[in-house]
Amino acid sequence: MTENEGFDELYGSTREDLVRQLYALTGDVGTARDLVQEAFIRAWARWDKVGGYDRPEAWVRKVAYRLAVDGWRRDRRTVLRADVATAPRPGPGEGELLAALLELPKREREAIVLHHIAGLSVEETAAELKAPVGTVKSWLFRGREHLACLLGDSGVETTKGVVAGG
């Protein structure tokens, strides 16, 4: 077994999805790429441990997310806006979804991104956001309702399909 076995595969298979998730969270594709890159650098430095996890991509995503949150804490004046045209290879309808996500209140957007895009359970999302499960369920409900209004009659089912990547 080589020292980096599995890392290259993880990087190649998850990087773009992670960038898309962080883009949806931050509203800036450059920032998203930087956060994901930093998270992968940290994973590489600890690959002997991280590579043994059941879901090393979850560790990388969590690190990237925390880096984003730390950035918000350092600069509370950050305005989350996006140039949808700069999104990393958006799929059909994804540009509209990303633009709509950026219209949501921060906590709703975070919950939607972690639960529907990153694929965390409600309980995992609550732990990540350090919020009660009931509160996260409320954020998810309101976020989906807001997305349905922003995206028109196609509503929640369309957003779930696009968000989940299928």
pLDDT of residue 103: 86
Cβ neighbour number for residue 114 with a 10 Å cutoff: 27
CA–CA distance, 44 with 41 (Å, rounded to integer): 5
Along the 166 residues of the chain, how does pLDDT read in single tens digits? 456 778 999 999 999 999 998 888 888 889 899 999 999 999 999 999 999 999 899 899 889 988 887 665 544 333 334 444 444 444 445 567 777 888 889 889 888 888 887 778 899 889 888 899 999 999 999 998 888 888 875 444 433 443 433 3
Tokens representing 111 are 């919950």
| Domain architecture of the chain: domains with CATH | 1-88 (no CATH), 90-166 (1.10.10.10)
pLDDT of residue 101: 83
Cα radius of gyration (the chain): 16
pLDDT of residue 158: 39
CA–CA distance, 85 with 105 (Å, rounded to integer): 22
List Cβ neighbours of 51 (8 Å cut-off, separation of 6 or more).
5, 6, 7
Instruction: Check residue 41 and report its DSSP letter.
Output: H
pLDDT of residue 119: 78
pLDDT of residue 2: 53
pLDDT of residue 128: 81
